[in-house]
């Protein structure tokens, strides 16, 4: 069932409140009352949409993963401009959603979310990466994606000291070196 505008706005208020609280406290120290107070909503409103705080966080994470930009098309090589543009678009998305990624990747440092992000990136970008079916190519791809998530965390932590385009270039160069056999 499609959500109406009021429902979307209410959920957005609760999501923003939780993100703000996660900037200050670990998840296990945040309760429904804290979120409702921050969002200026009643507890009954929270429970109309969620059973517990973790469910709200999961919805935030799912929204991020479902919103990752993907450029559909035929597989390309890592030297192709389309692949470069795809990387730049992905890192631009991270920069545009700085707060979300800072909270989810850096401050929470959640192995669960990081693994879901890795799996999502691997699935969404498999086609555009030109991944072949061989085991060595699969391992190289896993290695590269895990490495990218690691340096992505550092890029966020450092406050995005270089542009998404420059960051994409570094990632592309490192990935190319890692996959050359």
Specify the pTM. 0.82
What is the pLDDT at residue 74? 44
Distance CA(172)–CA(179), nearest Å, equals 11
Higher pLDDT, 177 or 72: 177
Architecture of domain 5-63: Orthogonal Bundle (1.10)
- CA diameter of the chain: 59
**Tokens (6 digits) for 175:** 């990935």
| Helices marked H in the chain | 5-22, 32-39, 43-49, 53-67, 81-96, 98-101, 111-124, 126-129, 135-157, 164-179
Residue ranges of the chain that CATH labels 1.10.357.10: 5-63
Residue 75 pLDDT > 70: no
Please write the tens of the pLDDT for every residue from 11-60.
Answer: 999 999 999 999 999 999 999 999 999 999 999 999 999 999 999 999 99
Q: Tokens 């678009």 correspond to what residue?
A: 89
């Amino acid at each position: 069932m499609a959500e109406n505008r009021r429902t979307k706005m209410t959920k957005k208020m609760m999501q923003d409140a939780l993100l703000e609280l996660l900037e200050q406290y670990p998840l296990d120290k945040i309760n429904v009352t804290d979120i409702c107070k921050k969002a200026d909503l009643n507890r009954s409103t929270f429970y109309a949409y969620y059973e517990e705080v973790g469910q709200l966080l999961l919805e935030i994470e799912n929204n991020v993963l479902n919103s990752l930009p993907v450029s559909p098309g035929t597989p390309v090589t890592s030297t192709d401009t389309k692949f470069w543009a795809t990387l730049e678009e992905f890192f631009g998305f991270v920069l545009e959603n700085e707060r979300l990624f800072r909270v989810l990747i850096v401050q929470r440092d959640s192995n669960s979310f990081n693994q879901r992000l890795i799996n999502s990136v691997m699935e969404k970008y498999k086609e555009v990466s030109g991944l072949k079916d061989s085991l060595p190519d699969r391992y190289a791809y896993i290695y590269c994606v895990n490495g990218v998530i690691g340096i992505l965390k550092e890029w966020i932590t450092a406050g995005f000291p270089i542009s998404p385009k420059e960051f994409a270039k570094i990632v592309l160069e490192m990935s190319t070196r890692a996959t050359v056999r």
